[in-house]
A and B are shown apart, each in its own frame.
Chain A
Amino acid sequence: KAGVTQTPRYLIKTRGQQVTLSCSPISGHRSVSWYQQTPGQGLQFLFEYFSETQRNKGNFPGRFSGRQFSNSRSEMNVSTLELGDSALYLCASSPATGGNTEAFFGQGTRLTVV
């Protein structure tokens, strides 16, 4: 069974641009969560999608948005990029939502904003 696939692996963008990151969950998984990882802040929860609906959202500005498609694939969009958005963005998939399910992580997308 293929794992969680995130594309692209690396990305360099300029301040003010927008970016879209993609996450393909493990087959059969319906929950997808996104996290931002930075050296200073650690791992911070962005949002979770389940069956195309956003179920939960972290404390990030509205520039960060996401969506989930009917095949459970998810995209995350960041508009008007800032230097501080440089981070590793991780996606995790689970069979279901709720706390007692294991999350499987992708390798992440390393975003650098210059």
Chain B
Amino acid sequence: AQSVTQPDIHITVSEGASLELRCNYSYGATPYLFWYVQSPGQGLQLLLKYFSGDTLVQGIKGFEAEFKRSQSSFNLRKPSVHWSDAAEYFCAVVSPSGGYQKVTFGIGTKLQVIP
């Protein structure tokens, strides 16, 4: 069974500092990988996704993520955090087999940005 681990439940960074949110997955093959962001009271918005090809993917709002097969990781990064980035971030894995869209989300990482 596939699983997703986000080891950091809460992260606090200073505005302007760099950010890295960790995501590790467990799945037999290379899954489809996603990062979503959720602001309070809102639904989820897709930041970026990885299906295949270049392992460094660029997303919206200046975010990027790197897929590392050897480490089963898909960490999200941003070089300089803005106060508006404060939100909860979810890593998700989709198993591509069978044509079914079975999605497994991580528990989420809540990001606090301090001035």
- Tell me whether A and B are bound partners: yes
- Whether B44 contacts A105 by the Cβ 8 Å rule is yes
> Beyond A43-B90, A103-B46, A106-B43, is A98–B105 a contact (Cβ under 8 Å)?
no
Give Cα A97–Cα B103 distance, bound, in whole angstroms. 12
Give Cα A35–Cα B105 distance, bound, in whole angstroms. 10
Which residues of A (26-60) have their CB < 8 Å from a CB of B?
31, 33, 35, 42-45, 48, 55-56
Give Cα A92–Cα B101 distance, bound, in whole angstroms. 11
**Interface size in chain B (residues, C-beta < 8 A):** 25
B115 adjacent to chain A (CB < 8 Å): no
Instruction: Identify which of B15-23, B61-69, B70-78, B91-99 touches chain A.
Output: B91-99
Which residues of the partner chain B approach A100 to less than 8 Å between Cβ atoms? 32, 51, 94, 96
- Whether A48 contacts B100 by the Cβ 8 Å rule is yes
Determine which of A43, A97, A107 lies in contact with B99 in the assembled complex, contact meaning CB atoms within 8 Å: A97
> Beyond A99-B31, A99-B95, A102-B49, is A45–B42 a contact (Cβ under 8 Å)?
no
Which residues of the partner chain B approach A98 to less than 8 Å between Cβ atoms? 96, 99-101
Could you list which residues of chain A lie within 8 angstroms of chain B, going by C-beta atoms?
4, 31, 33, 35, 42-45, 48, 55-56, 90, 92, 94, 97-108
7 contacts between A and B (CB under 8 A): A4-B43, A42-B105, A97-B100, A98-B100, A98-B101, A103-B103, A105-B43
